Structure 1
Amino acid sequence: MQVDERSKKAKNVDEWLPITSSRKAKWWYSSFHNVTAMVGAGVLSLPYAMSHLGWGPGVSVLIISWIITLYTLWQMVEMHEMVPGKRFDRYHELGQHAFGEKLGLWIVVPQQLVVEVGVDIVYMVTGGKSLKKVHDLVCKHSCKDIKLTYFIIIFGSVHFGLAHLPNFNSISGVSLAAAIMSLSYSTIAWGATLSKGVQADVDYGPKDPSRTGMVFNFFSALGDVAFAYAGHNVVLEIQATIPSTPEKPSKGPMWKGVIVAYIVVAVCYFPVALIGYWMFGNKVEDNILISLEKPTWLVVMANMFVVVHVIGSYQIFAMPVFDMMETVLVKKLMFKPTWYLRSIVRVTYVALTMFIAICIPFFGGLLGFFGGFAFAPTTYFLPCIMWLAIYKPKKFSLSWCCNWVCIILGVALMILAPIGALRAIVLQAKTYKFFS
């Protein structure tokens, strides 16, 4: 009788937690959740990354990243239900299956938290900067200058309300709007850039002609590209919301959604990166929309689209963090699963990410640092290591070779990108005053 009661209690807790509380999502939910998770602030920095990489390496890195991340995403979708009757609803649960209960947690959770919290901090900065850009363009001469800090606070305040939405399905409307916005502002970014034409003084040479600058900027740009492919950190959690039966496993609809999402990613990423660099050369800003000054109404609209998009993206990346915190409080520390516990946890998290964003709003440097340090493992090679550990493909088979190529490239990215990004942050920090 006691066992039944305990299992019922555990079931009630799972029905309360945000990742496992609703499994009614359609395949297209996974499509726009993935677009919202992936096509974020990263796409706007791709022309800037191209200015450090140059034409040949830049195009190669973009294409190789697109192929590798689609391949590793397919692996994660496949591994979600590899054990009959069990679903790995969270990234760390898959890690525990691959590496063991304790080691799996220590390998996956810190990296996933760095990614998700890091993305939310960067999106706080992005939202604030986009709002400031709108303000500066709308009232160029009639308004006094307002600090970026206040715009980050305005952007962050929206999340104090949205953070109370209980699970992924409840934020599907926000996510759909965000996905539409990402496609819209990406189209505006490359369309307006193309209409502006190649600038008279365009230069495709290195931004910093010194050998040291070239090398470090190249490394940092690799991190910018890695940041642009961030959806893997929430893919299992998104798949967990799709219903599954032995006859119709969730990987079918999930993969359909992923394919649509990756087509949208290609339509957004490649034109923005290539046209942005072609038109502005090495004078492009770390956010392509900042390079565009006219037509004013179009740039204002694009920046408002960015604001709406990063509102949705923030929630997509925050949901697994909410789930982790609420799981620890309810399952380990034995708190009662109540609305006010959820409210305290989520409001605290939003306040914390907002405060850090205000302290260090280095958009370009943050992208490169988080991109290399945490995105490379969770996106480029951790799924491959799990695949090798679980399926043990034959040595030198196609699967074995593909996974090892991804692991080698991913490890190189993880080591090199943060080095260049840290240098960029240090250089920016020299002239920075706190809360400016």
Structure 2
Amino acid sequence: MEPKSNDGSSNIRVRLLEEDSIQQSVYGPTSFARTCFNGLNALSGVGILSVPYALASGGWLSLIFLFIIAISTYYTGLLIQRCMDIDPTIRSYPDIGERAFGFFGRMLVSTTMNVELYMVVTGFLILEGDNLQNLFGDIEVQIFGLTIGGKQSFVILITLIILPTVWLNNMRILSYISASGVMASIVLLGSILWAAVFDGIGFQPNETQFLNWKGMPTAISLYAFCYCAHPVFPTLYTSMINPKKFSKVMFVCFLLCTISYASMAIVGYLMFGPNVLSQITLNLPTNKLSTKVAIYTTLVNPIAKYSLMIKPVANTIENQLPIHYNKRVYNLLIRTTLVLSTVIVALAIPFFGYLMSLVGAFLSITASIVLPCLCFLKISGIYYTVGFEQVVIVGIVILGIAIMIVGTYTSVLEIISHL
């Protein structure tokens, strides 16, 4: 009996080692803390600059929609995790669409996701150009006999700085860049508070208003833009050592980000009232130290976020390459081309607030609210029955579609009127 027992224990050990090997090949090496940094970096970014403008557009009552969108998108983030738990072969957001609705679902999710992320990183470049121009004024650069001046030269300069981070393909390395992005958001909020309290800007509560129905669509669209990281969540999920803790990552990220968004919205609106601009840093006096800290910090955030947000777009294109191609060379070429194309779009549509409002209303609502709900209903099969969760999910979908229609219409009109 003893030899038999030894053989059995050996077989068990071999099987456990094989399962552990499979687990390591399926999931990534990223720890809980590093995934939190990546998640916070994906959620807490340039949206923090526009929330005061959003609050000024809709009035104090619009803050309710910030919390409604935060709760809804947190829940849909958990639905993405549940979809991936149901089918372990799911590795990306388009995989969820295909598992739910076949080829059409994959194309819909992939197109929405990639266009959203592409426009978000384009907004990063617009933001960088605006703030650098505000800080240093207009400059001119000569390139091959062509004169490039003003914001355009700053956009090109910041692109050259961002480009090397896009070539990275390791989530553990990106987590260190993400940590800098998270710290940048904290420093930004602190510098805005310093400007209000110690640099003489102060607060103007009498100039604020309780409700502005005309600006409510813009406010809600910008709030939705703040929570547009859902296409990145499957990448974060598969990069974790222990994906079962992903729900805790979601809770930490959404809680901290919502606190920072609400704080910045309230402080910024109290400081500048209805005169707050689409980026609050553009309101600050440039001769103050706090302003310089705020703007420099603002410049760090897009640099830290760009590579993380563009990664799923690059992966979608790279996965179409034949296996025999030299992937490293083509990956560098694809990612460089993507970055250069965002420069062109940023120079062609230089309206940060209106562009982000459009992205939030049409793309963010679709990718972060509507699609996760529909895909989960189909994959889980619970659409056959009627229960509390089904009613909640359908209610979220209806709310999302209403916001998408009204917000998109308003944003398009604003962009057209300013072209």
TM-score of the superposition, structure 2-length normalised? 0.86
Equivalent residue for 2:113?
A: 112
* % identical equivalent positions: 23
Equivalent residue for 1:279?
A: 271
Opposite residue 405 of structure 2, the aligned amino acid is I
After TM superposition, the structure 1 = structure 2 runs for residues 396-407 of structure 1, keeping only pairs within 5 Å, are: 396-407=386-397
After TM superposition, the structure 1 = structure 2 runs for residues 285-304 of structure 1, keeping only pairs within 5 Å, are: 285-293=277-285, 296-304=288-296
1:170 offset after TM fit, Å? 2.8
The partner residue of 2:84 within 74, 80, 85 is 80
1:407 offset after TM fit, Å? 0.3
The partner residue of 1:70 within 71, 74, 78 is 74
The aligned length equals 383
Residues 282-315 of structure 1: per-residue CA shift (max 9 Å, x gap): 1111111112216611111111111111111111
Over 3 Å counting, the alpha-carbon distance change for 1:146 and 1:297 in structure 2 is farther
Equivalent residue for 1:369?
A: 358
Opposite residue 385 of structure 1, the aligned amino acid is L
Equivalent residue for 2:337?
A: 348
Equivalent residue for 1:202?
A: 207
Equivalent residue for 1:99?
A: 101
| Native 8 Å contact 1:194 1:275 kept in 2 | no
| Native 8 Å contact 1:81 1:87 kept in 2 | no
Equivalent residue for 2:405?
A: 415
Opposite residue 179 of structure 2, the aligned amino acid is L
Please report the RMSD computed on the Cα atoms of aligned residues, expressed in angstroms.
Answer: 2.3
1:130 offset after TM fit, Å? 2.2
Which has the larger Rg? 2
1:186 paired with 2:189, answer yes
Over 3 Å counting, the alpha-carbon distance change for 1:327 and 1:147 in structure 2 is same
| Native 8 Å contact 2:205 2:273 kept in 1 | no
1:161 paired with 2:179, answer no
Over 3 Å counting, the alpha-carbon distance change for 1:203 and 1:63 in structure 2 is closer
Opposite residue 111 of structure 1, the aligned amino acid is T
After TM superposition, the structure 1 = structure 2 runs for residues 207-356 of structure 1, keeping only pairs within 5 Å, are: 215=214, 217-244=215-242, 250-252=243-245, 254-293=246-285, 296-330=288-322, 334-356=323-345
Equivalent residue for 1:17?
A: none
| Native 8 Å contact 1:227 1:368 kept in 2 | yes
- Aligned partners of 1:187 and 1:33: how far apart in 2? 21
Over 3 Å counting, the alpha-carbon distance change for 1:412 and 1:37 in structure 2 is same
- Aligned partners of 1:417 and 1:33: how far apart in 2? 29
| Native 8 Å contact 1:121 1:356 kept in 2 | yes
The partner residue of 1:53 within 55, 58, 63 is 58
TM-score of the superposition, structure 1-length normalised? 0.83
- Aligned partners of 1:295 and 1:59: how far apart in 2? 32
- Aligned partners of 1:110 and 1:171: how far apart in 2? 25
- 269-278 vs 112-121, greater mean Cα deviation: 269-278
Over 3 Å counting, the alpha-carbon distance change for 1:220 and 1:200 in structure 2 is closer
1:385 offset after TM fit, Å? 0.9
Residues 14-68 of structure 1: per-residue CA shift (max 9 Å, x gap): xxxxxx9981000112211111111111111111111121112x11111111111
Over 3 Å counting, the alpha-carbon distance change for 1:194 and 1:416 in structure 2 is farther
- Aligned partners of 2:231 and 2:283: how far apart in 1? 30
Opposite residue 40 of structure 1, the aligned amino acid is G
Unaligned runs of 5+ in 2: 1-24, 139-147
Opposite residue 277 of structure 2, the aligned amino acid is E
Over 3 Å counting, the alpha-carbon distance change for 1:345 and 1:352 in structure 2 is same
Greater helix percent: which structure?
2
- Aligned partners of 2:51 and 2:210: how far apart in 1? 16
1:396 offset after TM fit, Å? 3.8
Unaligned runs of 5+ in 1: 1-19, 138-144, 208-213, 245-249, 430-436
| Native 8 Å contact 1:227 1:371 kept in 2 | yes
- Aligned partners of 2:244 and 2:374: how far apart in 1? 20
